[in-house]
Amino acid sequence: MSIKTVLVYSFEIYNITTDQNEKSLRKATAEAIAIKNGTLMQDTEEEVDDTALDDNGFVI
């Protein structure tokens, strides 16, 4: 079994409690960020092994 690498990014997501966008403490794939309606932060990409992701595309 070969390990694949994927790109993950920092992102911002809306926090209803503070009524502001906040930077997430975790990185995620572009697809996972889009599903959560987050805003991908350009130039923050990092290449990781796909084994470093949970089932939802977030870095563990």
Half-sphere CA count of 30, side-chain side, radius 13 A: 9
Per-residue confidence (pLDDT) for residue 1, from 0 to 100: 64
Query: Based on the number of CB atoms within 10 Å of its own CB, is 37 exposed (0-12), middle (13-18) or buried (19 or more)?
Result: exposed
Provide the residue ranges of all domains of the chain, joining segments of one domain with +: 5-50
DSSP assignment of 1-60:
-PPPEEEEB-EEEEETTTTEEEE-SS-B-HHHHHHTT-EE-TT--EEEEGGGB-TTSBB-
Q: Dump pLDDT digits (tens) for 24-46.
A: 999 999 999 999 999 999 999 99
Verdict on whether the full-model pTM lies above 0.85: yes
User: What does the mean pLDDT of the chain come to?
Assistant: 96
